[in-house]
Amino acid sequence: MKHERSLAIAAFLTVCIVWGTTYLAIRVAIETIPPFALTSIRFVIAGLVMAAIAVWRGERLPRDRSTLLNLALVGFLMVGVGNLAVVWAEQWVPSGLAALFVATAPFWMVLIEAFRTHGERVDLRTGIGMLMGFVGVALLVTPGGAGPSWNLAFVAGAVAIQIGCVAWQFGSIRGKYHLKDVPLLASASLQMLFGGLIVGVASLAIGEPARFAINLRTFAALAYLTLFGSIIAYSAYVYALAKLRTTKVSLYAYVNPVVAVILGWLILDEALTAISIVAMVTILVGVALVQTAGKKPVAVPVPAQSEKNAA
């Protein structure tokens, strides 16, 4: 049990660091690769590789219709909406600010948990933290917070990221409570594969292949996203989610922005305004309050087995 928890913490730390670097890689990759195509390619390749590894390790891939539908739903929510929203938004939103918008993920997770059977009650400290976080986001979407990047497309990107955050958290909870019996490698691989295939169909439908191009710089970014962002970090996230509390795992969004903002500033010369720095501090303090608040389970008189079917 102790060894298992250590592995879960190591997986969580991997997610914190690696996903913080993917915002930069996404920004580079979409210089020539359309967003739907980028999302589809990286997750289909990662899903196939992970499925092969799962089979090699002796894991049995699920075949029953109900489980496959749940895997497809989770893949759609997390890859087809959650991840794609960030990739699409980074056409107009700088990588560091995109990561800051994603930092609201713990707030959405807490809200979803509050409405879930046997979920966690939102106390005063949590409420204050969430309010601070959303004030920080509001600061970021002002012309002063966004700096030279501000325009209507920037605001649309910011809204899209929030929709993606909600979808990601729904997918995370759905996977945690409805895919308990699926081996973790098999679960991660099929989530990525289904999500990537769904986005791939959408890419073909909107004619992205005609705009597809690649060079050494964007190929390197795509390879990094596939290997580190998907195969390694996504699998680590699924493992950490299965072994740790959902609200604690969502803490990765607390670390990612720091990594992304620093890399965007150093490598892509992304502007950091005074208001954006204040917004970043406000969001991260809000997340800290939410994550350190004492939470109590919601007292709802329901049968014990309903926990398995919640969310």
pLDDT of amino acid 308: 36
Q: Read off φ and ψ for residue 78, nearest 5 degrees.
A: -85, -40
Structural domain including 208 reads 2-309
Check if the beta carbon of residue 28 is closer than 8 Å to that of residue 218.
yes
Closest CA to 49 of 185, 181, 211, 201: 185
Contact 102, 161 (CB under 8 A): yes
Instruction: Give per-residue pLDDT as tens, 125-137.
Output: 877 887 887 788 7
- Reported as a single tens digit per residue, the pLDDT across 24-69 is 999 999 999 999 999 999 999 999 999 999 999 888 889 899 999 9
Whether the predicted pLDDT of 253 surpasses 90: no
Length of the chain: 311
Placement of tokens 């079917």 in the chain: 309
The pTM assigned to this predicted structure is 0.82
> For residue 227, is pLDDT > 90?
yes
CA distances, 154 to each of 20, 37, 90, 136, 148 (Å): 20, 21, 9, 16, 10
Domain total of the chain: 1
Q: CA 229, 231, 232, 237: dihedral to nearest 10 degrees?
A: 80
39, 199 in Cβ contact below 8 A?
A: yes
* Mean pLDDT for the stretch of residues 248-265: 80
Whether 299 shows a pLDDT value over 50: the answer reads no
CB 67 within 8 A of CB 250: no
